[in-house]
Structure 1
Amino acid sequence: MSVFGLRTSNPAFTNYFWRKSSRYSKAKMSLSGIIFKSLFMLVLVSCTAFYTWHLFFAGVNTKWYTAIGALVAIFCSVFISYRNNAAKYLLPIYALAKGFFLGGISAYAHKRFPGLPFQAIGVTLLTFFVMLFLYQWKLIRVTREFRAIVISASATIFMLYFIGWILWLFDIRVPFLWGASWYAIGFNVITAIVASLSLLLDFDYINRYIGKAPKEREWVATWGFLITLIWLYVEVLRLLKKLAIRF
């Protein structure tokens, strides 16, 4: 069973992106390779995030840094989706661009609610290790039905955000997306849970292809993992911000 032909909520891990190609080397994908690349990309994200953070508190308007960073990251993701062999070239650009975006929204949140981004980072890391523990000990099994539910939920959330963003351009606010009501907090809780469960799908798909997929696919695996991890951080940050407003 699948939804839209996908086997995971993350587009980086669909069958399309893992099909065999004679252009790849005979070396196989390894867990250590994915971990190393993921850590390196997170360092790049941190560099531009801290830079944007510094500019923000130096009095510089970082609105364009944040917006352009988000647009460049989206462009890189779309391009990698169709040309996944370019992942090793575009992934560093994606990471740097995402850092500008995260630095901008995190600095703004910190100015209004001091320490909030650091709390969000802590919750994100804790969630990551909890999900890894649940997957490793098979306390939650990633079945086809489980994948279908997470995929459907992720697709629905994406569409709601997309529609909300279009309406926002016309100065129409969707309360449960951008507000701080209990409905908005409830929606954020749901999105954070779905993002957390998406980590399980990513772990499962990477585990399936360790030692099987070409080593070059480590870049694609890293890209997919970053998408989920950053999504989780953003959702946690938004949730904590809404809770801070309410309380």
Structure 2
Amino acid sequence: MRSRNPVFSRRGFSRDHGYAGFNTAPQAGGPAVGTQGNPYAQGNPYAQPSGNPYAQNPYAQNPYAQQDLYYGAPPQAPASTGRMTMDDVVVRTASTLGVLVVAAALSWALLPVDDANIGRSYGLGIGAALIAMVLGFVQSFKRKASAPLILAYAAFEGVFLGVVSSVIDNRIASGAAMQAVLGTMAVFAAVLIAYKARWIRVNRRFYGFVMAASLGFVLLMMVNMLFAVFGGGDGLGFRSGALGVFFGIVGVVLGACFLALDFKQVEDGVAYGAPRQEAWLAAFGLTLTLVWIYLEFLRLIAILNQND
């Protein structure tokens, strides 16, 4: 499964679509082992000797043979047309987030959450969330990134965020939406600085830990939701009170870890010369992660104000 949702496995820029360098295996007909002195000399995954952009695999020898493969920055691919650049990622991420923010602002303004209309507005928000989820799954299973699909996901996700933010901001905690936005921006900046300074090392062990922790977190929240639906109240209490605060913090930390994985994916894609269309995939992943962090902050703020 190549989902970009934080609860599922991440698609990277490697030949077999596993996370870059972490899920590769020797390929039949690949370059022979024996190149000395340069672990990347055997080629990059986007070289096109036979018309196949994924014909070569730089990890075909042994992904563990060179430890600096994970700890150092990947080699820089020569600039050429049709290759992804950092500017491509920035522009497409800004476009995706821009659509999301505009949709959220419009739904906030046009879908009132007073006592007479909250049911209808919340229903539309949930409907938009379900559509966004379906679009996200469709993109996750597609072999190539689709810009219209990703932008449509952002629009429907924005409608849902606008309704939820308006409900919490107007009925539970005034100013909660802006606090959640500031918190998300702070986490993004902190992780980016830590990643660029190499305080965070995204290697196979880090990837495995994050995926295992996220799977456990999501399964636990699903069990809590089932208990809440069929048993009423707050379920097992994992989303309210002291436990709710604890798991909210865990959710933010997991989101920060996924940001580091996103930064690694972007770095590898630029370095190895990924096709320009893959910038949309990077934008999709960053948007999903930022939405995850924002919602966790929003939930934390709501819980803290309900406890006052």
Q: TM-score range by the shorter chain?
A: 0.7 to 0.9
3-state SS in 1 of match to 2:237? helix
Matched, 1:195 2:193: no
Aligned counterpart, 1:42:
97
> How far apart are the structure 2 equivalents of 1:225 and 1:114?
27
| Structure-2 residue corresponding to 1:13 | 11
More helix by percentage: 1
Aligned equivalents of 1:198, 1:144: Cα separation in 2: 14
From the superposition, tell whether residues 89 and 12 of structure 1 become closer, same or farther in structure 2 (CA, over 3 Å).
farther
SS in 2 for 1:214: coil
Alignment partner, residue 238 of structure 1? 299
Q: Is residue 2:197 matched to residue 1:142?
A: no
Q: Distance in 2 between matches of 1:38 and 1:103?
A: 19
* Residue 136 (structure 1) shift: 0.4
C-alpha distance in structure 2 between counterparts of 1:220 and 1:82, whole Å: 12
SS in 2 for 1:62: helix
State how far apart, in whole Å, the 1-side matches of 2:194 and 2:269 are: 20
> Structure 2 CA distance, aligned partners of 1:67 and 1:92?
18
Residue 161 (structure 1) aligned to one of 218, 221, 238: 221
- CA deviation vs aligned residue, 1:165-205 (integer Å, no higher than 9, x gap): 333332444243332x1112111111111111111111012
Instruction: Give the Cα separation in 2 of the matches to 1:146 and 1:176.
Output: 29
Structure 1 vs Structure 2 CA RMSD: 2.8
Q: Which amino acid aligns with 2:287?
A: L
Map 1:212-223 onto structure 2 (within 5 A): 212-223=273-284
Query: Structure 1: where are the runs of 5+ without partners?
Result: none
Looking at structure 2, the residues matched to 23 and 136 of structure 1 have their Cα atoms a distance apart, in angstroms, of 28
Equivalent residue runs for 1:1-247 within 5 Å: 11-14=9-12, 15=14, 16-17=16-17, 22=52, 27-57=82-112, 59=114, 60=117, 61-111=120-170, 112-172=172-232, 173-179=234-240, 181-211=241-271, 212-247=273-308
Number of paired residues? 243
Give a deviation string over 1:75-124, Cα, whole Å, max 9, x none: 01111111142521200110000001100110011012110110010010
TM-score by length of 2: 0.71
Given residue 123 of structure 1, which amino acid in structure 2 is its aligned partner? G
CA contact (8 A) 1:175 1:184 kept: no
Displacement of 1:58:
7.0
Q: Kindly indicate whether structure 1 or structure 2 has the higher relative contact order, using CA contacts under 8 Å at least 6 residues apart.
A: 1
- TM-score, length-normalised on structure 1? 0.88
| Counterpart-to-counterpart distance in 2, 1:131 and 1:145 | 18
More off after superposition, 121-130 vs 156-165: 156-165
Contact 1:176 1:187 in 2 (8 A): no
CA distance in 1, matches of 2:209, 2:9: 15
Give the % identical residues.
Answer: 23
The structure with the largest alpha-carbon Rg is 2
